[in-house]
Amino acid sequence: MPRLFTARAMVLAVVVLLAFVLVYPTLHAYIAQRAALASLDAQVAAAQHQNDELANELSRWQDPAYVTSQARQRLAFVLPGERAYRVVDPGVVQETPTASNGPAGAVQDSASSPWYSSVWQSVQVAGEVPAG
């Protein structure tokens, strides 16, 4: 009957196991460091892209026409001799609630009363609304 486990096979198994025990932590650390390096490379690329965008924006701010257009757009500045108009879109403007709107209209204007009284009034109104 042939022997399944010879001395050579057992020595080979021990050597392979010992090699695995010695190499695995190093290999695992190498793979983890490669993943961290890839993540850092991606962060560097993103930071470089953001830096390029900010440099482009800074160069745009050096142009007087761009500064003028931004002042007009953001701050609603007009040049001397021009007439400014502000168009209000009725679809965007919200109506103020009135007493005819039901319980929501019962809450007073928050600008005329302290914040705690408007909170208390909203609690009272919420208690009056029928559930269901």
Letter for the amino acid at 17?
L
Assessment of whether the complete model's pTM goes beyond 0.75:
no
Residues with Cβ within 8 Å of 86's Cβ and at least 6 positions away in sequence, in order, are 76
Q: What is the pLDDT of residue 14?
A: 92
Tokens 């679809």 sit on residue: 91
Residue range 68-123, pLDDT digits in tens = 999 888 888 888 998 888 777 777 766 665 544 455 444 455 556 787 888 888 88
99: exposed, middle or buried (Cβ count in 10 Å: 0-12, 13-18, 19+): exposed
